A and B are shown apart, each in its own frame.
Chain A
């Protein structure tokens, strides 16, 4: 396979016109971002057809602005690199424009709590009641805290700078890896575009969350290995850079570290098999890749066995629940609630028909590209690089992850898996275009070839747009895609001024790490911004949420309060006024016979005022906080 190490010299006029093209793409994308900012601003007060349409059109425009430059044959390598960087930056800014002044996603709030723990204790492993495994992967928290102390920026802006930088690295590292695997920078850019169609790319992968930092670090380490395997740079110097990146990765996110370890070990195994067939390339590859695989495996094992231990397993177990739920569904043993496709968790808000059609088309296109890409890889002898084979094998998981979405439990697993599985799809897409290019070269005259090339690229561009919007529809509920007025149990849309005011008040008046009872949204805010510990789960087989559903403050409620050492009860009165959107107001279980998709009764919430052992210490008309005077 050809090693692409330096770009051929091009005439100055080509370079200048390409620079104009890059600048124009940046300008058009910036204009589209401005439209998104304005549409989001209006949507905060009221979502209308105009704000929604403007948002989607502008998002597509950001994508389309970079396509001609990324996919053009005439773009010089350096300009294409610049386009990849700008594309990654523009895509990240779409997430920043959604929530430009605070973190509000579940994982973002959990990381916020981690940073607050670190800021107050200055040491590791402060308990995190939102995600119990987070303290054992303190990479993002530590990086943010160092950034805060060095720049004096707020936690929000420090996080934005860290994740924004990581996004640039991620896009560029993926491009550079693909470029060296497929031997062509245009095909690598096409792969980057395809990777961006994964359902989590726009928001989740850009969130202030540990995998958003870990995936770029993993890709950076993989790039080191690819460079070293091509003999382009000194092996041990590359290993040293990879070791630093791997250290950052292992301390940041378990699953991404496992993924990198699996890929590198897989690479070694495939190379070993190829070496047995007397392939000198494979033998050389094996000799140069083993140090990378070794440092990742040793790093993962050392941290897992020495520090993280069972905490990782407790977090990964829910992800496996998705697979179990799918098996139950296939074998007819499923007894849980049926998931309504293309609707929010409780089925309150459904996607419009056009969105459903685009989502289905996106699934069909991704499967077609996957099949054609795998076929192209199998047929093309020069594409037998061990890493190509490993990524192709991993891409076969794509249909499995799509199938997981038919169950409620599997949706989350499928979402989380997409950022890894789509690396294979990116490669498959590049393989499809490469095979098309070869066929064209063989079968047609020069002019026909150019025309056909344009048609293929246009078709590819349309497919990417459909897959991008379809992925966004699949990955995010309709109410989550754009800011808007308050909705119950709707993650970002449930974080509004009254809840934030109550959390800020609690931060100033309730001692840190006090146990509280609250619904999911307010519990997250109280844990993140007030450093309180919301209690979930159950006491003697009764869900903590029983406190909120019972119509009188009974002995059972007193038992829950006493056993869980609850000192404050946070009551959002809107729970009796608006129905919840996602899995209900209490994601950790509700009393038997209660439908989590229903509103709570008014008298269930007003009972706290009639209870002598509780005192209302805070009220903003929407959120009330009761102090437990006697359990």
Chain B
């Protein structure tokens, strides 16, 4: 592959990255694929082209292309974050891709790029379809391993998720925002009680609300408190309707 074709590749991919990254409506999968190539290959390759680094062996070439890309990623990120406009969703891709285009373009300056000494190593081995098939199979199996691990981890998380209840003061303490997320198949109806201390050890329920929350769902409601009650003095409790035992008690000890 000649240096000129590598320059064309860098400029084309960086430009494609700019377009798919900034134009709305492009599928995320496409942005991810183009973006990964833009981030990992193009900056490092453009750097080597610009410097006319005479590396022909595959090992050092891979190290410098990928390593150069990662290092430029670091430098671009830090420099942008240090500047007044900051590291944002617009400045990061634009700067990286423009830098790659400039670096690759600079390889055209000061002499014909065809005479530069950057080149991919020539591939002498004969194409072997069984080998390619075996590689493809290995890739598929490794991919399957990652998918299985991912799905299993997410599923274990989903199974072990627990019901959540929260009661947060809102409107400067004039009300409570109650949230219930249910992960118990046997309990779909909940009763929320708000109580205030009526004496040293007893509490008086001042309002109650029944909420229906199916398994796997979340419900949030706002409850306005009576004028004489503030959220800081109110306590909310949660009972499963029909069950004798409260499953979650919020506030003072039962």
Complexed CA–CA distance, A93 and B146 (Å)? 8
Type the 1/0 row for B155-196, where 1 means its CB is closer than 8 Å to any CB of A: 011101111111110000000000101000000000000000
With A78-B121, A150-B39 already in contact, the answer to whether A31 and B141 are too (CB < 8 A) is yes
From A140, A237, A615, A627, residue with most partner B Cβ within 10 Å: A615
Is A150 a contact partner of B149 (Cβ separation < 8 A)? no
Q: Which single member of B63, B78, B126 contacts A220 (CB below 8 Å)?
A: B63
Q: Which single member of B71, B82, B140 contacts A217 (CB below 8 Å)?
A: B71
Is B88 a contact partner of A149 (Cβ separation < 8 A)? yes
From A5, A216, A248, A609, residue with most partner B Cβ within 10 Å: A248
Q: Which single member of A139, A168, A618, A625 contacts B66 (CB below 8 Å)?
A: A168
Is B47 a contact partner of A241 (Cβ separation < 8 A)? yes
Q: Which residue in chain A gives the minimum CB-CB distance to B69?
A: A165
From B21, B64, B126, residue with most partner A Cβ within 10 Å: B64
Interface status of B96 (Cβ within 8 A of chain A): yes
Q: Which single member of B55, B128, B140 contacts A20 (CB below 8 Å)?
A: B128
Q: Which single member of A40, A139, A616 contacts B74 (CB below 8 Å)?
A: A139
- Interface stretch, picked from A170-178, A194-202, A268-276, is A170-178
> Smallest CB–CB gap between B10 and chain A, Å?
15
Is B75 a contact partner of A247 (Cβ separation < 8 A)? yes
Q: Which residue in chain B gives the minimum CB-CB distance to A613?
A: B232
Residues of B within 8 A of A241 (CB): 47-48, 51, 53, 64, 68
Type the 1/0 row for B94-137, where 1 means its CB is closer than 8 Å to any CB of A: 00110000000000000000000000010011101011001101
Residues of B within 8 A of A141 (CB): 77
Residues of A within 8 A of B154 (CB): 101
Interface residues of A in 66-111 (CB under 8 A from B): 78, 81, 84-85, 90, 93, 96-97, 99-101
Type the 1/0 row for A218-259, where 1 means its CB is closer than 8 Å to any CB of B: 011001100100000110011011001101110110000000
Residues of A within 8 A of B87 (CB): 118, 122-123, 142, 145-146, 149
- Interface stretch, picked from B1-9, B30-38, B204-212, B221-229, is B30-38
Q: Which residue in chain A gives the minimum CB-CB distance to B20?
A: A152
Residues of B within 8 A of A15 (CB): 124-126
Residues of A within 8 A of B64 (CB): 220, 224, 241
Residues of A within 8 A of B252 (CB): 609-610
Interface SS majority for chain B:
helix
Is A618 a contact partner of B141 (Cβ separation < 8 A)? no
Type the 1/0 row for A162-192, where 1 means its CB is closer than 8 Å to any CB of B: 1001101100110110010000000000000
Q: Which single member of A145, A153, A620 contacts B165 (CB below 8 Å)?
A: A620
Residues of B within 8 A of A24 (CB): 134
With A97-B145, A124-B82, A238-B53 already in contact, the answer to whether A169 and B66 are too (CB < 8 A) is yes
Q: Which residue in chain A gives the minimum CB-CB distance to B72?
A: A244
> Smallest CB–CB gap between B203 and chain A, Å?
12
Interface residues of B in 34-92 (CB under 8 A from A): 35-36, 38-40, 47-48, 51-60, 62-64, 66-78, 80-82, 86-90, 92
Interface range on chain B (Cβ under 8 Å from partner): 35 or more
From A6, A27, A213, A618, residue with most partner B Cβ within 10 Å: A27
From B75, B142, B165, residue with most partner A Cβ within 10 Å: B142
Is A27 a contact partner of B141 (Cβ separation < 8 A)? yes
> Smallest CB–CB gap between B146 and chain A, Å?
6
Complexed CA–CA distance, A223 and B69 (Å)? 16
Complexed CA–CA distance, A233 and B57 (Å)? 11
> Smallest CB–CB gap between A237 and chain B, Å?
5
Number of interface residues of A (CB under 8 A): 111
With A251-B75, A619-B248 already in contact, the answer to whether A501 and B164 are too (CB < 8 A) is yes
Is B67 a contact partner of A97 (Cβ separation < 8 A)? no
> Smallest CB–CB gap between B58 and chain A, Å?
6
Complexed CA–CA distance, A227 and B61 (Å)? 12
Is A248 a contact partner of B71 (Cβ separation < 8 A)? yes
Type the 1/0 row for A26-65, where 1 means its CB is closer than 8 Å to any CB of B: 1101110110111011001100000000000000000000
Residues of A within 8 A of B19 (CB): none
> Smallest CB–CB gap between B94 and chain A, Å?
10
Interface residues of A in 430-488 (CB under 8 A from B): 483
Residues of A within 8 A of B140 (CB): 30
With A6-B57, A123-B87 already in contact, the answer to whether A29 and B138 are too (CB < 8 A) is yes
Is B166 a contact partner of A509 (Cβ separation < 8 A)? yes
Interface status of B12 (Cβ within 8 A of chain A): no
Q: Which single member of B62, B81, B161, B165 contacts A142 (CB below 8 Å)?
A: B81
Is A146 a contact partner of B73 (Cβ separation < 8 A)? yes
Is A151 a contact partner of B35 (Cβ separation < 8 A)? yes
Residues of B within 8 A of A12 (CB): 124-126
Q: Shortest 4 CB-CB distances between A and B: which pairs?
A: A142-B77, A248-B71, A122-B86, A151-B35
| A residues with CB within 8 A of B | 5-6, 9, 12, 15-16, 19-20, 22-24, 26-27, 29-31, 33-34, 36-38, 40-41, 44-45, 78, 81, 84-85, 90, 93, 96-97, 99-101, 118, 121-124, 138-143, 145-147, 149-153, 161-162, 165-166, 168-169, 172-173, 175-176, 179, 213, 216-217, 219-220, 223-224, 227, 233-234, 237-238, 240-241, 244-245, 247-249, 251-252, 483, 496-498, 500-502, 505, 509, 606, 609-610, 612, 615-622, 625, 627, 629
A-B contact pairs, 20 of them (CB 8 A): A16-B125, A26-B138, A27-B135, A36-B145, A93-B142, A122-B87, A122-B88, A145-B92, A150-B21, A150-B35, A150-B96, A151-B35, A165-B40, A227-B60, A234-B53, A237-B52, A247-B75, A248-B74, A249-B71, A496-B157
